[in-house]
């Protein structure tokens, strides 16, 4: 019995054009195939060194005679487009690739900055590859085959169980695995919550005066209007909360200002939620990183029925994992799960690996090592400021891996521009200010010290100091 086409050789997509005299003859087919192969090599679609299917395999795929393919290959070998050696098959020859003619001017590529000081990304060079691979191997070995199916929309129970134990121990979160939902990043989690709130009839949500524009845009896209609350040295002031159905806060380490929410205001916002039935969305984006103070427990521990806890692996490990989690009040859990859909949308293997990474203790070890590394970078930054820019003060540095550098009034724009000339990517404080915030804007920089690898940190600090007033 002849072999099915599905069992033959490597795949090669070709559309031979057979026209003109002899179009339906072997000569016409051979010419069309030769032209198609030559064009694929010339334009770079078939890269130098690419191994081509055998003449028998390609003939079966195209429904033509094997000799026609063999003759086309021979023609292109003679022309220098292909090479053929006994035992290694037919391959694309090593030669310069001529790209297709541009019909429009090519876009100018953005110049990559010498140093990236935009906050929010950890040191990706320090990702624990070896330990992660070990955890992945153990997780995949132990996983039943059902674990690779579509899965529970809340996420794999192994990860939800591991997170419930870890968050209770490390962050004071009161979590039941049944009420934890895994999402593809905090942004995806906010979109799910915003959609669920809108379905309840909500039209607005309170936010902080300083924060991530991307988060406000996500909430706005779900149909929720954002209203900023006042901000001062004690953090966001919840006194103006009224009939909003929810408020989004970063209470442990306000982003980007870096101050923790004062304990009186923590109590006040929980009291507001209990009194009105509102929800507090607690974004605990960098809860693992504390240096000069005792860890501040999650707000959710004060009232699990009115606080949605949001955490992420993006800061502690890598944003590319696209793994975050929400600890939902029982009254909201079913609605958000239904909003997510009928199947899990996060990768099963990464979820199982993170579960194993946490339960094995590797996550704790990684966080402790990262905490020490970021603290050293922070200390280097503070020392350099004291020596080279004594009029610039760093605040919000008791936690996290970014600092707010105060600037003389009216200098913010010029400093950011000078930084760009020095190859520094960084953001001004005004970049994170809500457009409806009522407080007077402050001149400052928000400097992330997580992204540059260790070997580049000293150079980044030196370049930063050169642009500071």
Region of 171 (left: φ > 0; alpha: ψ -120 to 50; beta: rest) is alpha
Longest dimension (CA), the chain: 89
Per-residue DSSP letters for 175-196?
--GGGEEEESHHHHHHHHHHHH
Contact 160, 182 (CB under 8 A): yes
Using the structure block, give the residue that is written with the tokens 């989004």. 248
Query: Residue 28 has what pLDDT?
Result: 84
Tokens of 41: 């090599």
In DSSP terms, 231 is beta-bridged to: 236
Answer whether 0.95 is exceeded by the pTM: no
Cβ-count burial 74-97 (b if 16+ within 10 Å, e if not): ebbeeeebbbeeeeebbbbeeeee
Q: Which domains does the chain have, with CATH numbers?
A: 5-92 (1.10.10.10), 116-120+365-467 (3.90.1150.10), 127-360 (3.40.640.10)
Give, in order, the Cα–Cα distances in Å from 42 to each of 64, 76, 165, 205: 24, 12, 58, 57
In 3D space, the residue among 312, 314, 288, 362 whose CA is nearest the CA of residue 133 turns out to be 362
Residue 397: how many CB atoms within 10 A of its CB?
A: 22
pLDDT tens across the length of the chain (469 residues): 444 444 446 788 888 876 554 444 567 888 999 999 999 898 888 999 899 999 898 888 888 999 999 999 999 999 999 998 887 789 999 876 555 554 444 454 456 789 999 999 999 999 999 999 999 999 999 999 999 999 999 999 999 999 999 999 999 999 999 999 999 999 999 999 999 999 999 999 999 999 999 999 999 999 999 999 999 999 999 999 999 999 999 999 999 999 999 999 999 999 999 999 999 999 999 989 988 877 789 999 999 999 999 999 999 999 999 999 999 999 999 999 999 998 888 999 999 999 999 999 999 999 999 999 999 999 999 999 999 999 999 999 999 999 999 999 999 999 999 999 989 999 999 999 999 998 889 999 999 999 999 999 999 999 999 999 9
Q: Which of 141, 39, 153, 160 is nearest to 92 (CA)?
A: 39
pLDDT in tens, 38-94: 998 988 889 998 999 998 988 888 889 999 999 999 999 999 999 988 877 899 998
SS3 call for 169:
helix
Predicted pLDDT of residue 315: 96
User: What are the DSSP E strand ranges found in 52-121?
Assistant: 82-85, 89-92, 115-116
Where do the H-state alpha helices sit in 63-128? 66-79
């Amino acid at each position: 019995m002849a072999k099915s086409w599905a069992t033959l050789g490597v795949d090669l997509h070709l559309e031979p054009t057979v026209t003109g005299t002899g179009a339906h003859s072997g000569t016409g087919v051979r010419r069309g195939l030769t032209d198609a192969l030559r064009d694929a090599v010339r334009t770079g679609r078939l890269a130098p060194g690419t191994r081509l299917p055998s003449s028998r395999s390609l003939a079966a795929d195209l429904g033509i005679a094997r000799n026609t393919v063999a003759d086309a290959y021979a023609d292109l070998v003679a022309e220098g487009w292909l090479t053929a050696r006994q035992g290694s098959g037919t391959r694309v020859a090593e030669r310069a690739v001529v790209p297709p003619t541009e019909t429009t001017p090519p876009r100018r590529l953005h110049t990559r900055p010498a140093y990236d000081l935009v906050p929010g990304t950890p040191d990706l060079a320090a990702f624990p590859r070896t330990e992660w691979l070990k955890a992945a191997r153990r997780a995949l070995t132990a996983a039943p085959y059902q674990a690779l199916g579509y899965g529970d929309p809340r996420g794999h129970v192994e990860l939800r169980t591991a997170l419930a134990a870890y968050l209770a121990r490390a962050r004071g979160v009161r979590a039941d695995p049944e009420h934890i939902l895994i999402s593809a990043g905090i942004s995806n989690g906010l979109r799910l919550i915003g959609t669920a709130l809108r379905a309840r009839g909500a039209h607005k949500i309170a936010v902080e005066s300083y924060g991530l524009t991307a988060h406000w845009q996500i909430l706005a896209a779900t149909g929720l209007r954002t209203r900023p609350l006042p901000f001062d040295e004690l953090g966001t002031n919840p006194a103006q909360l009224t009939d909003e159905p929810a408020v989004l806060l970063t209470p442990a380490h306000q982003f980007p200002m870096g101050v923790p929410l004062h304990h009186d205001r923590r109590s006040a916002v929980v009291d507001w939620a209990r009194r009105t039935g509102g929800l507090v969305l607690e974004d605990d984006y960098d809860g693992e990183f504390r240096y000069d103070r005792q860890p501040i427990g999650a707000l959710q521990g004060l009232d699990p029925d009115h606080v949605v806890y949001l955490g992420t692996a993006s800061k502690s490990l890598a944003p590319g994992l696209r793994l975050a989690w929400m600890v939902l009040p029982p009254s909201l859990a079913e609605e958000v799960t239904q909003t997510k859909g009928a199947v899990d949308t996060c990768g099963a293997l990464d979820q199982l690996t993170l579960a194993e990474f946490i339960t094995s203790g590797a996550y704790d070890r990684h966080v402790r090592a990262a905490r020490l590394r970021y603290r050293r970078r922070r200390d280097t930054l503070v020392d350099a400021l004291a020596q080279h820019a004594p009029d610039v003060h760093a605040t919000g540095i008791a936690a996290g891996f970014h600092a707010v550098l105060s600037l003389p009034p009216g200098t913010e724009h010029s400093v950011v521009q000078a930084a760009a000339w020095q190859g520094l990517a960084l953001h001004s404080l005004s970049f994170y200010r809500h457009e409806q915030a009522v407080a007077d804007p402050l001149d400052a920089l928000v400097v992330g010290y997580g992204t540059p690898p260790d070997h580049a940190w000293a150079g980044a600090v030196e370049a930063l100091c050169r642009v500071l007033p």
